[in-house]
Amino acid sequence: MKIKTSTFVMSNSDVTKCPNSQLPEYAFIGRSNVGKSSLINMLTGRKNLAKVSGKPGKTRLINHFLINENWHLVDLPGYGYAKVSKQEKKTFQKYITAYFEKRQQLVNTFILIDSRHEPQPIDLEFLEWMGTNAIPFSIVFTKADKLKPQAIDKNIADYKAKLTETWAELPPYFVTSSANKTGRDEILDYIQKINET
């Protein structure tokens, strides 16, 4: 898919106030600092569409972007950031959960996982929660430029092994680097295929 236009639509914490169009929607979520906002900029070919920061916890709201006038891309806050207060964590969790449970337009969620790490309990828990609630998702292994290919393969194999303990079938997965655009065509083509069906 070619990205012709990408525009910021709105930010909010209330799923009922998200854009009320019926356009198909694709969300990006994962641990704080995993590279969600960077991936969105890489996919759209825009440097500063989504706000990137070296400090975890940058994205705090549900952010809608309109792509090619025909689908929405959503940047979500990261989970598992230790430095926010307990109260703030609860509030986060509430509106993120509400988003996943209520957002009818949501077609697929990309769950981002840092390819450098072994399976982390918080990611496994989130994957399980999505699976249990039957919310369609794919996995994106990020920051591939930081590892040698063999190391990435090993971490992906470990994840697969962990996931097959729970599920018979694994979701589609992608390997990406926002630094050198790895995985861009694969993700965009995947979205296009779904949009066309």
CB atoms within 10 A of CB 66: 18
Residue with Cβ nearer ligand GTP (53 or 166)? 53
Please identify the residue of the shown chain whose CB is closest to the bound ligand GTP: 78
- Contact between residue 83 and residue 56 where contact means Cβ atoms under 8 Å apart: yes
Beta strands (DSSP E) in the chain are 6-12, 25-30, 62-67, 71-75, 106-114, 137-142, 173-175
Residue with Cβ nearer ligand GTP (117 or 195)? 117
Q: Which does residue 163 touch among ligand GTP, Mg ion, none (CB within 5 to 8 A, set by kind)?
A: none
Residue with Cβ nearer Mg ion (95 or 162)? 95
183 binds ligand GTP (CB under 6 A): no
63 binds ligand GTP (CB under 6 A): no
Query: 38 vs 32, 33, 181, 189, CA distance in Å?
Result: 12, 9, 10, 19
DSSP-based three-state secondary structure for 131: helix
Among 59, 115, 155, 178, binds Mg ion (CB under 5 A): 59
Binding residues (CB under 6 A) for ligand GTP: these are 32-38, 52-54, 56-59, 77-78, 142-143, 145-146, 177-179
